[in-house]
Amino acid sequence: MTRELDARGTQRRNPLSLLSRRQQMGWAALVMGVSVLLSRFMGLIRDKVISYLFGATSESDLYFAAFVIPDFINYLLAGAYFSITLIPLLSVYFEKDEEDGWRFFSTVFTWIALLISALTAVAMAFAPRLAYLAAPGLTEEALARLALFLRIVLPAQICFLLGSCITAILYLRKQFLVPALMPLIYNLMIILGGIILRNRGMEGFCWGVLAGAFLGALCLPYLAARCGQGLKLCFSLYHPGLKRFFLLALPLMLGQSVVVLDEQLVRIFGSLAGVGAISWLNYARRIMLVPVGVVAQAAGVASYPFLAELVAKQEISKFHQTLNTALRSTLTLLIPLTIWMMAVAEPTIRLIFQQGHFAAADTLQTSQLLLIMLIAVSCWGFQQVLGRGYYAQQDTLTPALIGTAATLISIPIYYFSSLHWQAVGVALASSISVGLYTGFLSLRWYQRFGKEAFLGLGKDFLKVVGLSLLAGFPALFVVKFRIIDVAVHPYYEALYAIGISGVCFAVIFVMLSRYFIPDLIRPVLQKAGPLGRLLLR
């Protein structure tokens, strides 16, 4: 029950009921988009705090190295994909028999708890040896401290994996607020831990990771599930659907998708591109992924439970229509956002990163790389949504095989590009590899399911690109026509260029869209609040 009687006999709302409120797909995408935006912003604050307190020192190196082993364990158990794997199966079981659905969920939860607890215990026991594997170039003293960091961070994986299972229940119920809050609480606890325990070095940030994982990734979804429609958990080691679950999860454990390994490939081959290349590439990649997370990741996460539910109900035509809507909306938002970001690439990097040891020359290098990486943003977004279409059909094998094939093809491209064009070549290889993966994924979908999910996307793509370019040229003129002296006030000038060009681009694009693509822009403006509804008139 979400309401109870107060002393006067009137109903009062349980404060936790807000956490279990259902959202429709459009609002769900908006909630997740805002969450990703805030999470990216808090991640930037977190990095700024680390840089401010410890800079690029041995202590900060130990902190980043402490995530190599935990991330590997999480990836080995497909932790990031638990919700994706569970939701289609839960949809089927709950549709047929709710009690049997809870038995299946409890069995999966029990086995995941046992596996991750055992792996964590072993990893903590062998932390000194694992520390050497994670960073073999460190001194004995540094390795001992890294082992301490590992033992603090490793238990967080238990919280992440078990919380991911519970989050699948929330997604199935169309409850997106808690999943949206989880990364915010996680980042906030890391920042607080680092500041409060700053006299203990980066150890404070490690304790913040553990606290953030426990409170944000585990406790919050558990409370939301319990206070909503209930959470029925019991100890269970067998269910007929357990085999199906592991068969679905196995490709995600073994497949090496280029979109997962892209960050590591950028770092590895960036090291061949000269001093500073890795930093420039990472800063550019961080900014490039902001629109991907805010738009595409949010659209994918929000649409996935609806897609899985339609598959469970065998409403295949409606499934393709829903996927088409999600793809169409993603491109309608990503394309103009990307072109505007291209126009403001240099002032954006200058405003965010140019300070301290990050000089103006670094800004120019990073903004150049950002321009190249932004070319593939639409591909990043498209594969995020289309991949959910495969997962909703309980097909994790196809994306894994295609991702592995794209990775194998991309590695030589990274290698030769980095040798010939240094950092620019690495950025270009990153864009090409994601484009290849998206193309292969789309081609295979067309071969298996036909063109229903892609109807009208080609024409819409060209229209949105054309209108975005028309709006982008005036925005670029605003950026290049500098009223404020950039040498005297570099940050004010950057803020002015970003703000004015953004307003200019938005007004022109919306006005053109209302006339040329009203069916595409109307759903976006309807979700944009009073300003959007005003523009609709």
- What are residue 12's DSSP bridge partners? 4
pLDDT of residue 338: 92
Cβ–Cβ < 8 Å for 420, 428: no
pLDDT of residue 465: 92
Q: What span, in angstroms and rounded, lies between the C-alpha atoms of 168 and 151?
A: 28
Count the alpha carbons within 13 Å of 364 in the hemisphere toward its beta carbon.
3
Cβ-based neighbour number of residue 522 at 10 Å? 13
Q: What span, in angstroms and rounded, lies between the C-alpha atoms of 366 and 283?
A: 7
pLDDT of residue 77: 67
- What are residue 5's DSSP bridge partners? 11
- Mean pLDDT per 10-residue segment, the chain (537 residues): 43 51 53 64 71 60 72 66 72 82 88 90 90 70 86 92 86 76 87 88 90 90 80 84 78 60 68 64 81 72 75 84 87 90 90 72 87 91 87 81 86 88 89 92 91 88 92 90 80 89 90 83 64 58
For residue 90 the two structure tokens come to 């839960």
- Specify the DSSP class assigned to residue 9: S
Q: At CB < 8 A and 24+ separation, what contacts does 495-501 make?
A: 495/347, 495/351, 497/344, 497/347, 498/344, 498/347, 498/348, 498/351, 501/340, 501/343, 501/344, 501/475, 501/476
For 443-472, the DSSP string reads HHHHHHH-SGGGTTHHHHHHHHHHHHHHHH
Burial class of residue 323 (count of CB atoms within 10 Å of its CB; 0-12, 13-18, 19+): buried
Handedness of CA 293, 377, 308, 456 (dihedral sign): positive
- What are residue 11's DSSP bridge partners? 5
Q: What span, in angstroms and rounded, lies between the C-alpha atoms of 468 and 475?
A: 10
For residue 50 the two structure tokens come to 């680390």
Phi, psi of 12 (to 5 degrees): -130, 145
Beta strands in 368-489 (DSSP E): none
Q: At CB < 8 A and 24+ separation, what contacts does 195-198 make?
A: 195/49, 195/53, 198/53
Cβ–Cβ < 8 Å for 399, 441: yes
Predicted TM-score (pTM) of this structure: 0.66
Cβ–Cβ < 8 Å for 212, 188: yes
Radius of gyration of the chain (CA): 24
Cα distances from 424 to residues 45, 262, 327, 373, 413, in angstroms, run 27, 15, 30, 10, 12
